């Protein structure tokens, strides 16, 4: 979502770093470009004006760090002010008597039901006993969608035909209390636009169950309109937090920067994809780093830890040290990487020059390369995967036909594997002890 904005800001910073000394005119020129980049990204005009003014004041005020050159100093100031604009991180409030009720609200199509599944999965992984409640009897298949998510996650879904959502919510909370559940997540109904009937129903649900969190689910792809929608809900119901969904989309991303500053409501989570694990706890400093092209190493580490298989990693390390590393192990490594999420998201988290170089490869191309590699290895027999020296010309043609690729693709994979084997042998001969660290 932030790709265009990131590229524009990187261009500004590259130009600034070329100057050994920055004049006031240089700063003014850079700030004009930053202002234009933010406005084109659909950031609220008032937010842009305040942000640029503060950066300009600090930059021209000659804030100096001996460790940084003037261009780097500007980047540092922009990063700090962007973090300030994005607001502070606030955790989900899980205090008070059980079960704690989390109420999800928002317009139709904002992603409430999927968000309910994602939060349920996350809280269940933290040891909570979760129940989801289908409080949307109006949208066709809304209840069935939540029940499907419940089956996938092995989390119960409460629903009864013929009773109003406020009464349903109350009965669900009573049932959860008797069943020993610690969290109840209400998936409420949305409308195509805000109306009195929707707001009256939400207020009635709130009165009946007294939720500890009322989270507004906002589609980040609708831009500035998301800020107006949030403001409309704030006027009639006490929001405690926001969930921004669809940050993996191709919109300009200004809503994510504007909404906290304009509404004053903290962002709690970011939805970054369709899968149930594509939910990130909101962390302003990490989001700022990604917007400014500085990567998100902590986020990358968290994804790696979630996908990490200690037993498999130890086995691969032992085989590597013994010289038995095979194409089977190579395929296992690819699976571990792909479990971390879409390749495009992983590339966006890479910092500095590494991230810039990685982003030169289109995410779709990188994803397709992984798929081709897996298809080629899967088309081999077990013996061929363990002994690549068996792969003569006829076998390579068979593998190419079986995987839907070209013989050149098979040859390229074998060459990459052999190059990796040679590198490992050189490292072992040189006495490098850190090889095991490569595999955890």
Sorted by where each begins, the domain ranges of the chain are: 3-86, 100-292, 302-439
Q: Are 436 and 321 in contact (CB under 8 A)?
A: yes
Which positions ≥6 away from 201 have C-beta within 8 Å? 164, 165, 166, 188, 189
> Quick check: do 3-86 and 302-439 share a fold?
no
Please report which confidence band the pLDDT of residue 362 belongs to, taking 50, 70 and 90 as the band edges: low
Looking at per-residue pLDDT, the higher value among 52 and 288 belongs to 52
**To the nearest whole percent, how much of the chain has pLDDT over 70?**
76
pTM of the predicted model over 0.75: no
Whole-Å CA distances, 317 to 4, 339, 425, 429 = 40, 19, 14, 16
Is the CATH number of domain 100-292 3.60.15.10? no
Please determine, for residue 233, whether its predicted confidence score (pLDDT) is greater than 60.
yes
Q: What does CATH list as the number for 302-439?
A: 1.10.260.30
Q: Are 259 and 226 in contact (CB under 8 A)?
A: yes
Give pLDDT tens digits for 75-118.
Answer: 888 888 888 888 888 889 998 889 999 999 988 888 899 999 99
For residues 207 and 166, what is the distance between their CA atoms, to the nearest angstrom? 8
> 235: cis peptide before it, omega within 30°?
no
Looking at per-residue pLDDT, the higher value among 332 and 117 belongs to 117
Is the CATH number of domain 3-86 1.20.120.140? yes
Please determine, for residue 396, whether its predicted confidence score (pLDDT) is greater than 80.
yes
Q: Going along 272-370, which residue ranges are E strands?
A: 279-281
Looking at per-residue pLDDT, the higher value among 221 and 384 belongs to 384
Give pLDDT tens digits for 37-86.
Answer: 888 888 888 888 998 898 888 877 665 444 456 777 778 888 888 888 88
Give CB contacts under 8 A, 24+ apart, made by 190-196.
190/105, 190/106, 190/107, 190/108, 190/109, 190/110, 190/112, 190/136, 190/139, 191/107, 191/108, 192/107, 192/108, 192/109, 193/107, 194/107, 194/229, 194/232, 194/233
Q: Are 126 and 183 in contact (CB under 8 A)?
A: no
């Amino acid at each position: 979502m932030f790709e265009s904005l990131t590229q524009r800001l990187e261009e500004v910073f590259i130009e600034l770093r070329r100057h050994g000394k920055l004049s006031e005119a240089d700063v003014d020129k850079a700030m004009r470009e930053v202002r234009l980049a933010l406005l084109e990204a659909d950031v609220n005009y008032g937010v842009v004006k305040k942000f640029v003014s503060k950066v300009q004041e600090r930059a021209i005020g000659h804030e100096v760090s001996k460790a940084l050159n003037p261009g780097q100093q500007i980047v540092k100031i922009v990063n700090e002010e962007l973090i300030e604009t994005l607001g502070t991180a606030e955790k989900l409030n899980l205090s008070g008597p059980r079960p704690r009720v989390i109420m999800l609200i928002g317009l139709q199509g904002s992603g409430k039901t999927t968000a309910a599944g994602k939060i349920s999965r996350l809280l269940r992984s933290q040891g909570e006993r979760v129940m989801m409640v289908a409080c949307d009897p109006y949208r066709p298949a809304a209840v069935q969608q939540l029940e499907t998510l419940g089956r996938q996650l092995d989390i119960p879904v409460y629903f009864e035909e013929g009773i109003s959502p406020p009464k349903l919510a109350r009965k669900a909370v009573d049932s959860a209390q008797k069943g020993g559940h610690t969290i109840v997540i209400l998936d409420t109904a949305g409308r195509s636009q805000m109306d009195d009937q929707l707001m009256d129903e939400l207020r009635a649900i709130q009165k009946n169950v007294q939720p500890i969190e009322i989270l507004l689910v906002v589609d980040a792809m609708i831009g500035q309109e998301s800020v107006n929608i949030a403001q409309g809900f704030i006027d009639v119901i006490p929001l405690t937090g926001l969930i921004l969904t669809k940050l993996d989309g191709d919109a300009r991303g200004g809503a994510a920067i504007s909404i906290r500053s304009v509404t004053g409501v903290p962002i709690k989570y970011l939805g970054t994809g369709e899968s149930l694990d594509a939910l990130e706890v909101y962390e302003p400093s990490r989001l700022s780093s990604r917007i400014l092209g500085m990567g998100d190493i902590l986020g990358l580490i968290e994804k790696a830890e979630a996908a990490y298989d200690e037993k498999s990693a130890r086995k691969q390390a032992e085989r590597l040290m013994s010289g038995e590393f095979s194409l089977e192990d190579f395929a296992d490594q690819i699976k571990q990487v792909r479990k971390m999420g879409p390749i495009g998201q992983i590339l966006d988290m890479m910092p500095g020059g590494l991230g810039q170089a990685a982003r030169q490869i289109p995410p779709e191309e990188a994803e397709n390369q992984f798929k081709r590699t897996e298809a080629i290895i899967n088309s081999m027999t077990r013996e061929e995967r363990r002994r690549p020296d068996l792969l003569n010309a006829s076998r390579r043609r068979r593998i190419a036909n079986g995987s839907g690729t070209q013989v050149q693709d098979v040859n390229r994979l074998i060459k990459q594997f052999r190059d990796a084997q040679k590198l490992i042998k050189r490292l072992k001969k040189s006495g490098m002890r850190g090889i095991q660290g490569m595999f955890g």
